[in-house]
Homo-oligomer: A and B are copies of this chain.
Amino acid sequence: MERSGQARLIRIEDPSDPRIAEFTAMRDRDLAGRGDLFIAEGKVVLQALLDAEAGSRRFRIEKALILENRIDGLGNLLDRVDPGCPIYVAGRVVLDAAVGFAMHRGILAVGRHVPATSFTDFLSHLPEQALLVAACGISNHDNLGGIFRNAGVFGADGVVLDETCCDPLYRKAIRVSVGAALRVPFCRAGGIGELIASLSAHGFEVAGLSPRGTEPLSSYVPGKRLALLAGTEGEGLPAEIIERIKTLKIEQAPGMDSLNVATASGIALWHAAARMGRAI
């Protein structure tokens, strides 16, 4: 018996079919910089995207492209795709030719992110007690994905990004986040100074995570609103920023290399969420 969703599948026979043009561009630039479009890849991410679309107005699925032999494995997932959204299906040869060999998992979608109208707007919609991660200069998709994953796990209210951070909706970042990039609200601010000023104006204590931090994390008791500021690996947070904000040091053995930034965010979120009495 054919599943209900299968009647609407649109067969693609030509790798250069313009209806799947977004997927063919993946090879080169992954839709980066093409407005707020992004590629979702794999069953877990498709599911997270459907959840995000149902639960908020922040995401929409524009189209899906599925390898024919993956259709059955999706179960009823495709029934959840909005009737107005085309679902294309193709065989392996056509899909590989279109997308590029081994660049996909047979399950792809084009998503659209509908960002907050402004950083101020984003901040003004947060609950009274709020926990954020502020990511500055994170240029590695594994690290940014890891930060989102941790923000999700510890129930943070959002992630804010300075203008130099990489894209949390890049395929690899979404994958490493295990879909949390689609669940945890995020907003891009301007420069790090602007970001800190806006957070402060909205009642957030901005606490920088740094091996040179002055206060040990283990004794830190957050107030009602906390933004944990994580800087890029290597350089870390700029010295002039560290000088003018509270800084937390995750205690570690003397003389060793520093923690990975995503791991540092996990430790700080775990500690802060518990001390803030949040539901973890």
Contact = CB atoms under 8 A, between A and B. Distances in A.
A79 interface: no
B263 A146 contact: yes
Given A153-B259, A260-B149, A274-B218, A280 B253 contact: yes
Interface in A222-280: 250-254, 256-260, 262-263, 266-267, 270, 273-274, 278-280
Contacts of A153: 252-253, 256-259
Contact of A253 (B152, B218, B260): B152
B155 A252 contact: yes
A154 interface: yes
A194 to B, nearest CB: 29
A50 B231 CA distance: 30
Interface string A37-71: 00000000000000000000000000000000000
Nearest to A258: B153
B280 A252 contact: yes
Nearest to A156: B253
A59 B96 CA distance: 45
8 contacts: A178-B257, A179-B257, A218-B274, A251-B274, A253-B280, A260-B262, A263-B263, A267-B270
Contacts of A258: 153
A230 to B, nearest CB: 13
A150 interface: yes
A149 B273 CA distance: 24
A33 B63 CA distance: 46
A155 B250 contact: no
A48 B279 CA distance: 42
A251 B275 CA distance: 12
Contact of A259 (B150, B257, B260): B150
A253 B274 contact: no
A206 interface: no
